[in-house]
Amino acid sequence: MSSNSGGRTPSHVAIVMDGNGRWATRRLLPRVAGHRQGVESLKRCVQACLDRGIRVLTVFAFSSENWNRPADEVSGLMELLGMALGREVPQLARAGVRIRVAGDRSGLSARLREGLDAAERETAHNDRLILNVCFNYGGRWDIVQAAQTLVARGEPISEESLSKALSLAHVGDPDLLIRTGGEQRLSNFLLWQAAYAELFFSDRLWPDFDEVALDEALAEFARRERRFGRTSEQLLGAAAVPGPRAAA
Ligand code: IPE
Ligand code: IPE
Ligand code: MG
């Protein structure tokens, strides 16, 4: 039994998968080779989450700002997503993973959009693990599109209504947000949903982030005291203190 078993395992883990480019550059490889290795690392991570009873994994795969990269890297990333969808979805479907894609699909090619729709459709019956892939995603984009949706429907804007219009409304807020690659910033990931996430920064580059590294993050999470604005003394008196939004 691992040290993070029991009630202290986060139900929703979010990851900024950073460091692919440096992983490749250190090996004198093109950056896209690092992204390819990043897909392998994600597969390993999904299996590790399944093994540990984590219910939701949300990963940042391509940000609204990543369009500013050199054209060949951007096209390499688009190609990689298309290939990964074709190759990996059947196995993920068999493993009980439900894929959801968050982000601005209007900026993607028709072929990619079809691939993303198919991945969601073919895994829609699964519920062991929800894998949210944030692609062409930005936290600011998400808040704006949610506000626009409410305005278009003529609905009042409140924390609750806005939460429900966000692209990750089908899951609770992340309990643990990991960023690999050594940088300590959000880079426009889950700005709204990370309000009370425990943050964990790893120096490992994403292709090197393995089960041992995940267990380090989970062990650290289990040691954290989540107060949601309350005091430690209050927590001692309460059996369970729910966050602002209960996890899925
Ligand atoms: C993260 O790795 C993947 C994407 C942003 C698509 P990077 O490509 O940012 O890797 P580094 O940070 O340059 O090493
Ligand atoms: C964040 O990483 C985006 C993804 C991991 C997809 P970046 O490498 O783009 O972030 P910055 O530019 O270092 O902040
Ligand atoms: Mg980076």
| Sign (positive or negative) of CA dihedral 213, 137, 106, 145 | positive
Q: Does 219 map to a domain? A: yes
Ligand 2: which residues within 6 Å by Cβ?
Answer: 16-18, 60-63, 66, 183, 185, 187
Buried b (16+ CB within 10 A) or exposed e, 228-244: eeeeeeeeeeeeeeeee
CA distance 170 to 224: 26
The tens-digit pLDDT sequence of the chain (248 residues) is 333 334 589 999 999 999 999 999 999 999 999 999 999 999 999 999 999 999 999 999 999 999 999 999 999 999 999 999 999 999 999 999 999 999 999 989 999 999 999 999 999 999 999 999 999 999 999 999 999 999 999 999 999 999 999 999 999 999 999 999 999 999 999 999 999 999 999 999 999 999 999 999 999 999 999 999 999 999 988 765 565 554 44
3 in any annotated domain: no
Residue 181 annotated as part of some ligand binding site: no
Residue 224 assigned to a binding site: no
31 is in an annotated binding site: yes
Per-residue pLDDT tens digits for 192-244? 999 999 999 999 999 999 999 999 999 999 999 999 999 999 998 876 556 55
126: its two tokens: 């699964």
Q: 1 in a domain, yes or no?
A: no
Structural domains of the chain, count = 1
Q: Which atom of ligand 2 is nearest to the CA of 181?
A: 8
What residues are annotated to the active site? 18, 66
6 inside domain: no
pLDDT of residue 169: 98
Residue 248 falls inside a structural domain: no
Residue owning the nearest CA to atom 10 of ligand 2: 187
Answer yes or no: is 62 within a domain: yes
Q: Is residue 2 part of a domain?
A: no
> What domain range is 225 assigned to?
12-241
**CATH no. for residue 186?**
3.40.1180.10
**Residue whose CA is closest, atom 12 of ligand 2?**
187
pLDDT given for residue 244 in this prediction? 58
Q: How far is CA 99 from CA 93, 118, 225, 232, in A?
A: 8, 10, 31, 37
Q: Is 221 near ligand 1, meaning CB less than 6 Å away?
A: no
3-state secondary structure 57-114: EEEEEEEHHHHHCCHHHHHHHHHHHHHHHHHHHHHHHHCCEEEEEECCHHHCCHHHHH
Residue nearest to atom 14 of ligand 2 (CA): 187
